[in-house]
Structure 1
Amino acid sequence: MNQIKIGVMVGSLRMDSFNRRLARAVEKLAPDDLAFRHIQINDLPLYSQDFDAAYPAAATRLKKDIESVDALLFATPEYNRSIPGVLKNAIDIGSRPWGTNSFAGKPAAVIGASIGSTGTALAQQHLRNVLAYLDMPVLAQPEVFIHFKEDLVSEDGSIGNDGTRKFLQGFVDNYVAWVRRFAR
């Protein structure tokens, strides 16, 4: 069976990001025929239509990285009840210039972790709206709003709680079926 390439976009720049940990946990639970690649977004310029005619090198790299994968996994924190600016900027760059949307048709899922009791529910809803507009089929269920606690997921993605492991395995199983349904 051919390997399915999954691009991971983490909406946090923090080195010890809870959402990076969560993404790694998902990767560990996935079958071997899925290959995960973290897509770099920390060096992107702020999007401006002025560079649509000649994209900066980092923006061109981002578009190529998105185009090289079969599906995407977005792990987003929640900043002020929405998605972080760095993630929105990366999405804007990857979907432009008009007519060159690198995301179109790629299946996706959205997950998130936060120290807040509601996890990242509002940020995920905003992100889902953006991804739907970009013509991405987005997995609707199960939703993953993790109330993050320090011992829940280690830096390497090891899960410290059986209930969380079981819940995330259910998500992974659904995500894998979703990706296989749509991936080219």
Structure 2
Amino acid sequence: MAGMETTSITLKWALLYLMKNPLEQDKIRAELLSVVGRDRRIQMSDKPKLPYFIAAIAELQRMANILSFVFFHRCTEEAVVCGKSIPKDTLTFPQIYSVLKDDPLFDNPEEFRPSRFLETDGKTVNKKATERMVAFGMGKRQCVGEGLARTEIFLVLGTLLLNYRFEPVGPLDFNPIFGSVLYPRPYKCSVVPV
């Protein structure tokens, strides 16, 4: 249930950001059409040929940031982080938000820019940005459903964008509803077959 809910919420945020950025939505669709076409369904084997779409998914997850924090962790040994000593047995509260929205690596963090996850050639993965993409957490406590979630988002969002254009009906509100996860506010959109 948890994985299903977080994936569906991520997809809701994705459509919201794609409606706000119609040129990016069209650019992603163009890449999908050039690789997948209209005669078949998107498959996981298409992934290596869709660098911009993969970068867009990373940027959507960075922007949506549905889980702004992870559960408490206890330091099992003394550690030093950015010159600060953290004693053994200290409870820590990792803030994913600060990495995804307040990291100098992601300049202009409120700007939707998938290209930040690609090198200048537009095809090679930007390893520094990808390493900082911690939407699923990291280390031993990383989300166990990450692989399934990535697969579902890739296939579902790819299928939607191959077949439809999403246009806003009314204003778009990006202020989240706070809960166990950050939900997008209800919105209406026009789903136009392409």
For the criterion TM > 0.5, the same-fold answer is no
Q: Give the TM-score range, shorter chain.
A: under 0.3
TM-score, normalised by the number of residues in structure 2: 0.27
> Which structure has the larger Rg over C-alpha atoms?
2
TM-score for both structures, normalised by structure 1: 0.28
Q: Would you tell me which structure has more helix in proportion to its own residues?
A: 2
